[in-house]
Amino acid sequence: MHVLILGGTTEGRRLAELLADAPGVRVTSSLAGRVAAPRLPPGEVRVGGFGGAAGLAAWLRQHHVDALIDATHPFAGTISFNAAKAAAGAHVPLLALRRPGWVASEGDDWHPVGSLEEAARVLPGLGRRVFLTTGRMGLAAFAGPELGTHWFLVRSVDAPEPPFPARMEVLLDRGPFTLDGEREILRAHRVDVVVTKDSGGSATAPKLAAAREAGLPVVVVRRPAGPDGVTGVATPEEAVAWVRALGG
């Protein structure tokens, strides 16, 4: 049974590890190639795009894929819609593996927004020293002159490319992060507002606890809607059970 995982996430790697040990299963993980040195999962790995939904459907047929699992980042919206179209066109069962989003706790000062652009618009009323943890993509939203007096600490795995904020320091790092480490970042850089995407999971959640302790506002970009009608699970273990059920 050939399973293609659209991965690049912690859950995608964990799923590949579980399926690599499963008898009668061949697993291929597909990575987008946006990170220079990704953590490679076990099994076969391919890097790069497919050329849209039609290209992915052709790949599914050519490589005799029996099951497709979309374990991409919650904000990698385009590939999820392409996966739904490709799976329907190639008549391949599709599962979405999505970690649950974060839930605000007592004491949190969250400001939900619908996009990075909206996050940039609300910043002037919240603070001027920004811990920006949305990754290296989309920094152009914060590069406008209206935020010219703001200072940004940008954390990403790889160095960002312009356009980006005029006053910026880059912190190259990869999760999981610790609560003590996040506390120190907020203290050392005199951060007064945090901006994040609702990625979910535990690897990057400590910043939320650190911000809560420090009484800082957090701008949280809501997840985009995914394709309709796709079966979803929250854990790699549930995805393995789905694969086993397909295999009879």
Asked if 31 and 4 touch (Cβ cutoff 8 Å), the reply is no
What does the pLDDT average to over 171-196?
A: 96
121 and 93 in a common domain? no
Q: How far is CA 165 from CA 115, 133, 150, 196, 238, in A?
A: 17, 13, 8, 16, 41
68 and 121 in a common domain? no
| CA separation for the pair 66, 92 (Å, rounded) | 6
217 and 131 in a common domain? yes
> Average pLDDT over the chain, rounded to whole?
94
6 and 96 in a common domain? yes
Token pair recorded at residue 194: 């945090």
| pLDDT reported for residue 40 | 86
204 and 235 in a common domain? no
174 and 216 in a common domain? yes
Structural domain boundaries enclosing 37 = 2-100+226-246
pLDDT, one tens digit per residue, over 91-138 is 999 999 999 999 999 999 999 999 999 999 999 999 999 999 998 888
| pLDDT reported for residue 172 | 94
The CATH number of the domain where 28 resides is what?
3.40.50.720
What does the pLDDT average to over 74-93?
A: 94
215 and 230 in a common domain? no
190 and 119 in a common domain? yes
190 and 93 in a common domain? no
Choice between 38 and 108, residue whose per-residue pLDDT is larger: 108
148 and 242 in a common domain? no
Backbone torsions φ then ψ of 22, nearest 5 degrees: -85, 130
168 and 92 in a common domain? no
Contacts 24+ apart (CB under 8 A), 233-236: 233/95, 233/96, 233/97, 233/98, 234/97, 234/98, 234/99, 234/100, 235/11, 235/97, 236/11, 236/14, 236/15, 236/18, 236/71, 236/97
To the question of pTM greater than 0.85 for the whole model, the response is: yes
| pLDDT reported for residue 41 | 92
| CA separation for the pair 151, 14 (Å, rounded) | 37
CA-wise closest residue to 95 among 223, 241, 201, 248: 241
| pLDDT reported for residue 36 | 63
Token pair recorded at residue 104: 């605000």
DSSP state of 41: P
199 and 159 in a common domain? yes
| CA separation for the pair 57, 32 (Å, rounded) | 16
Q: How many domains are there within the chain?
A: 2
